Amino acid sequence: MMIEELSGIVGADRVSKEKASLEAYASDNSFTEGCAPSAIVSPVNAEQVVEIINLAAREKAGLVPSSSAPPRFRGDTVPEREDSVVVDLTGMDRIIKINRRNKVALIEPGVTFGRLAREVAKEGLKVLMPLLPREGKSVVGSYLEREPILIPKYHWDVTDPLLCAEVIFGTGDMFRTGSAAGPGDLEDQWASERYQKNPMGPGQSDLIRVVQGARGTVGLVTWASVRLEPLPSASRTFIVAADSFGELLGLVYSMLRRKLGEEFLVLNGTDLAAIVGGDREEIEELKGRLPPWSLIYRVAGFKYFPSDRVSYQVNDIGDLAGAEGLEPCRSLAGVSEEDIGGVLDGTSGEPYWKFGYLGGFADIFLIATLEMVPSFLELMEEEAKKAEYPSGNIGMYVQPIQQGRSCHVEFTLYYDEGDEGERQKVRGLCDSAIRRLMDSGGFFSRPFGPWCELPFDRCPDTAMLLGKIGKMLDPDGILNPGKIPYRVV
């Protein structure tokens, strides 16, 4: 599309037609098939984004928003139409405001986890992290994708930790969600001690909920406020080992019920080895040593009597664990408290941690209740067996969300990067497993990769309503076409 017009909006140096850059978007680390975009445009402010959307609407061209640096996963940014232009938002990377008292930051989409974490730590605050995001991962991008965060007690509602946002809809209208809508602009709001903290509204709808989870098909976010929490003044991390996930279930439920612990996640031995191990040999060796399942959590204290808080929680958790015949440990099979601390606070080193084991990987993720997880594990093992894929190579990560009312379940199928046969085998395994997991009650709330249509086939009524709303917010269907199947009736 319209290179000249795009250049007119952002300047010629912010529009790229360079083949290698375009080709880099044609595929990603998922099985998504697509094509290279026709150009990449890099706006620096919301006004330019508005103009780009208006231009695309006139030309009926597709726009693919992208906020993170590569490598990319899940197919969100692989264009499905050749006329598409990638809107690269990584250059919009200002941390506009950090407010300690109200524990909030206002950031542009190009701000990454590592950078934000460093900046807010200066104020005694912490960013709510997903599990080891890659170095260039956009905070706003991650929260818009509803990636789970590590601290379930701060995940009150599905939108968390995303609060308010400035969005440019497919109509070209600029909108601010939640209390950021007004009255007054940001400066006026700050002057009256309002810090874009209330995520609801404005009025009688919550359009941020529609923007989130939409894979860029509804609007482009140009800034967002995000919930931060205090950095602990004292903390200890623990691992509880188990032979099966089911053994941990009682403890997991009872801790979540009482909001005990901060970071809180369950990993199988393969994923834990892939995280803390270095190269392939080390990971293999660790896999052999680590327990099949580990519950990892941290307890912490804050401004008031931090060690009292830590010690009552340690005692209470110890009692709950004891009742289940489990024992929290500070280190396990050579994995130290420091190793675990790095996992809970950090971003992934380079290369991204999932590449470390065998070079290639494919993810399957869904949400379910915690008690559904054991049956999914069995199902995965069965499917792996059928596909002649070694089930010991499946990484598993269970992250409680919504304060424990459900959980994100993630299977990572590691495979030899250079082996196309392996890759195809894993693709086939993904296909059969996803269908069976769906049939068994797994809810694919975040459609991904080539399977993004499947969840909608199961809920035609929702798809119909979504079609009406999609049409309202992006009437020309220009925003990331194909990534959410809006079914217009």
Partner 1 sequence: MLDDAVYREFEEVVGPDNISREPAILDGYTYQIVFNPTPSPWLNRPAAVALPCSTEEVQGIVKVCNRHHVRFKAHSTGWGVFNAPGYEDMIILDLRRMNRILQIDENNMFALVEPYITCNQLQAEAMKKGLNCHIIGAGPNTSVLASCTSVGGVGWTGISMGYNCRNVLGVEWVLPTGEVVRLGSPGSGDGWFSGDGPGPSLRGIMRGLFGAMGGLGVFTRVAVKLFNWPGPKRIDARGLMFDIKAEVPENIKLYILLFPDMQRFLDATYDLGDAEIGWIHSRNPAGMLFTFLFPGLMRETAGRPAMRSAMESIKHMVSFGIAASSPGELAYQEKVVREVIARNDGVLIDMGKLPQFESFMLFGLMRSTLSAFVFRAGGNFASSLVGEETTDSGAPQVDLGVRIKQEYIDKGALIDDMADTVWGSIYENNLFAHYESLMTFDSRDPRQQEWIKVDEEVVDELIDRKWGIGIGLSGAGTVVHKKFGPHMCNYDKWQRRIKKALDPEGLSDPIGYTEPGD
Q: Which two tokens stand for residue 193?
A: 């001690």
Report in angstroms how near the CB of residue 145 gets to partner 1 at its nearest: 11
Position 365, amino acid? F
Report in angstroms how near the CB of residue 82 gets to partner 1 at its nearest: 24
Q: How many residues bind partner 1 (CB under 8 A)?
A: 95
Q: For residues 281 and 461, which CB has a smaller minimum distance to partner 1 in the complex?
A: 461
b/e burial code for range 347-367 (CB count within 10 A of at least 16 → b): bbeeebbbbbbbbbbbbbbbb
Of residues 4, 122, 279, 303, which one binds partner 1 by CB under 8 A? 303
Q: Is position 447 an interface residue for partner 1 (rule: CB under 8 A)?
A: yes
Report in angstroms how near the CB of residue 316 gets to partner 1 at its nearest: 5
Of residues 370, 433, 434, 478, which one binds partner 1 by CB under 8 A? 370
How do 39-41 and 85-88 pair as beta strands? parallel
Q: For residues 225 and 393, which CB has a smaller minimum distance to partner 1 in the complex?
A: 225
Report in angstroms how near the CB of residue 217 gets to partner 1 at its nearest: 8
Check: CB of residue 164 under 8 Å from CB of residue 180.
yes
Q: Is position 218 an interface residue for partner 1 (rule: CB under 8 A)?
A: yes
Report in angstroms how near the CB of residue 125 gets to partner 1 at its nearest: 10
6 Cβ contact partners less than 8 Å away, ≥ 6 residues apart: 15, 39, 41, 52, 55, 85
Q: For residues 84 and 406, which CB has a smaller minimum distance to partner 1 in the complex?
A: 406
Q: Which stretch binds partner 1 (CB under 8 A): 54-62, 204-212, 236-244, 268-276?
A: 204-212
Question: x/- string (CB under 8 A) for partner 1, residues 103-132?
Answer: x-----------------------------
* Near partner 1 in 391-430, by CB under 8 A: 402-406
426 Cβ contact partners less than 8 Å away, ≥ 6 residues apart: 360, 362, 389, 413, 415
Q: Is position 58 an interface residue for partner 1 (rule: CB under 8 A)?
A: no
Question: x/- string (CB under 8 A) for partner 1, residues 156-185?
Answer: xxxx--------------xxx--x-xxxx-
Q: Is position 287 an interface residue for partner 1 (rule: CB under 8 A)?
A: no
Report in angstroms how near the CB of residue 352 gets to partner 1 at its nearest: 25
419 Cβ contact partners less than 8 Å away, ≥ 6 residues apart: none
Q: Is position 188 an interface residue for partner 1 (rule: CB under 8 A)?
A: yes
Report in angstroms how near the CB of residue 309 gets to partner 1 at its nearest: 6
Q: For residues 336 and 462, which CB has a smaller minimum distance to partner 1 in the complex?
A: 462
Give the HSE-up count for residue 43: Cα atoms under 13 Å, Cβ half-sphere. Answer: 27
Q: Which stretch binds partner 1 (CB under 8 A): 211-219, 342-350, 379-387, 422-430?
A: 211-219
Q: Is position 441 an interface residue for partner 1 (rule: CB under 8 A)?
A: yes
Report in angstroms how near the CB of residue 238 gets to partner 1 at its nearest: 17
Question: x/- string (CB under 8 A) for partner 1, residues 243-282?
Answer: ----------x---xxx-----------------------
Of residues 70, 91, 201, 392, which one binds partner 1 by CB under 8 A? 201
Report in angstroms how near the CB of residue 448 gets to partner 1 at its nearest: 10
Q: CA 275: distance to chain centroid?
A: 17
Task: Pick the closest to residue 242 from 303, 332, 353, 154 (CA basis).
Answer: 332
Report in angstroms how near the CB of residue 45 gets to partner 1 at its nearest: 17
Report in angstroms how near the CB of residue 140 gets to partner 1 at its nearest: 16
* Near partner 1 in 314-343, by CB under 8 A: 315-316, 319
Q: For residues 314 and 333, which CB has a smaller minimum distance to partner 1 in the complex?
A: 314
Q: Is position 202 an interface residue for partner 1 (rule: CB under 8 A)?
A: yes
Q: Is position 231 an interface residue for partner 1 (rule: CB under 8 A)?
A: no
Report in angstroms how near the CB of residue 183 gets to partner 1 at its nearest: 4
Of residues 7, 27, 331, 369, which one binds partner 1 by CB under 8 A? 369
Q: Which two tokens stand for residue 3?
A: 């290179």
Q: Is position 371 an interface residue for partner 1 (rule: CB under 8 A)?
A: yes
Q: Is position 146 an interface residue for partner 1 (rule: CB under 8 A)?
A: yes
Report in angstroms how near the CB of residue 356 gets to partner 1 at its nearest: 31
Q: How many CB atoms lie within 10 A of CB 67?
A: 27
Q: For residues 118 and 405, which CB has a smaller minimum distance to partner 1 in the complex?
A: 405
